[in-house]
Structure formats: structure tokens, C-alpha cells
Amino acid sequence: MEEAISAADANRKFSHILRGVREGQSYVVTSHGKPVARIIPADEKTKVPAAAREALLSRLEAQPIVQAGRWTRDELYEDER
């Protein structure tokens, strides 16, 4: 569960926030009521890219290989207007 905290409060209570993060708490830092940053446990951040990478690789492995042939640089950047 994320807790919203203003930037000013985050500045004043930084050690308290770090203690909460160590215990698994996440925070959304706001400025003038709008979210500007997220403070999350360090290991939580790496889970999303790893899961996304695995999903992408499994999807790519399932796709058939397409033999597109060779093309020139001009053909790649050809304007189709």
C-alpha cells in the first residue's frame, strides 16, 4: 500500500520514511498535490523489469521467424507519401 506524503513532510521525516521502506512500505511524494516521485523498497523496483523482460522474451520466442530479405538504407527511410 502506498502512502502519499508531501515533499516538505518527506524532507522533514526522511529517516522515518526509510524505516517504513525497510519494512516494505511505499510512498508517493507529492508537490502541490500532484505526484512527483515514488519511494519503494529497492528490490521491488527490479521485479517489474525482470517480469517484463521474461514476458517479452517468451512472446518473441513464440513468434514465427519472418524472412524479410535484404534492404538498403534508402529503402528503410523511404518516405511513403
The pLDDT tens digits for 62-74 are: 999 888 888 888 8
Q: What is the pLDDT of residue 74?
A: 85
The pLDDT tens digits for 10-58 are: 999 999 999 999 998 999 999 999 999 999 988 766 667 778 888 999 9
Q: Domain 2-62's class?
A: alpha beta
From first CA to last CA, the distance across the chain in angstroms is: 50
Domain ranges of the chain: 2-62
**Distance between CA atoms of residues 48 and 41, nearest Å:** 12
Q: What is the pLDDT of residue 49?
A: 78
pTM of the model: 0.53
Is residue 3 within 8 Å of residue 23, measured between CB atoms?
Answer: no
